[in-house]
Amino acid sequence: MPGPYAHDPILAADPSNPSLVAANASVTIFAVGDPTKTPVTIWDLSHTTQLPNPVTTNRLGFGPQFSHDTIPQLAWEGGGFSGTFKSFKGLWEDAEAAKGAAQGSATSSQESAASSELAATNAATGVATALAATVAEATAAKLAAQQAAALVGAPADVSTAALVGNPATLTGTALSAAIGLTGAPQAKDGHEYVWLAGVIRNLGDGSGWQLLLEGSNHRPIGITSIDTVDDSTGPYGYIRVNYPGVVGPSGMTVTFMAVPDETLARNGFSCGTSVTQTYTDIRISQAAPAASDYVSYNGSAWVSQDGKLTPTFSGGILTLAHEPVPASAQYSINAVARTEFYSFNAPRAAGTLDTGKFSLEVRDNSPRIADYVSFDGTNWSSQDGKFTGFAFDTSTGVLTLTHAAIPLTATQRVSLNPRGATRPVVTSTTSPTSTTTLKIQFVNSAGTVLLTPDTTMRAYVTHGGGTGELVTAPDANMRVFASHGGGNRQWKPSALNTIVYPGSNIWLLGFMGKAPTG
pLDDT digits (tens, 9 = 90+) for 313-329: 999 999 999 988 866 67
DSSP for 344-403, please give it. EE---STTS-BTTEEEEEEEE---EEEEEEEE-SS-EEETTS-EEEEEEETTTTEEEEEE
Structure confidence by residue, pLDDT tens digits, 300-309: 999 999 999 9
- Name which residue leads in pLDDT, 231 or 472: 472
Residue 19 has pLDDT above 70, yes or no: no
Compute the average pLDDT of residues 479-493.
86
CATH 1.10.3470 is held by the domain 5-87? no
Q: How is the chain split into domains, by residue range?
A: 5-87, 91-178, 187-288+492-514, 290-365+471-486, 368-464
Structure confidence by residue, pLDDT tens digits, 250-302: 788 899 999 999 999 988 899 999 999 999 999 998 887 788 999 999 999 99
Q: What is the pLDDT of residue 132?
A: 40
Contact by Cβ (8 Å): 84, 73: yes
Q: What is the pLDDT of residue 10?
A: 85
What contacts 261, CB < 8 A, 6 or more positions away? 503, 504, 505, 506, 507
Q: What is the pLDDT of residue 190?
A: 64
Task: State CA 290 to chain mean position distance.
Answer: 9
Find the range with the poorest average confidence among 15-24, 203-212, 474-483. 15-24
Compute the average pLDDT of residues 384-408.
93
Give a three-class secondary structure readout of 172-192.
HHHHHHHCCCCCCCCEECCEE
Structure confidence by residue, pLDDT tens digits, 112-147: 545 544 443 443 333 333 334 434 444 444 444 444
Compute the average pLDDT of residues 154-172.
47
- Name which residue leads in pLDDT, 101 or 341: 341
Instruction: Kindly report the backbone phi and psi dihedral angles of residue 161, in degrees, each rounded to the nearest multiple of 5, phi listed first.
Output: -60, -40
Find the range with the poorest average confidence among 175-179, 281-285, 472-476, 499-503. 175-179
**Confidence category of residue 312, pLDDT binned at 50, 70, 90:** very high
Which strands sit side by side in the sheet containing 302-304, from one edge to the other?
302-304, 290-297, 479-485, 333-337
pTM for this one? 0.41
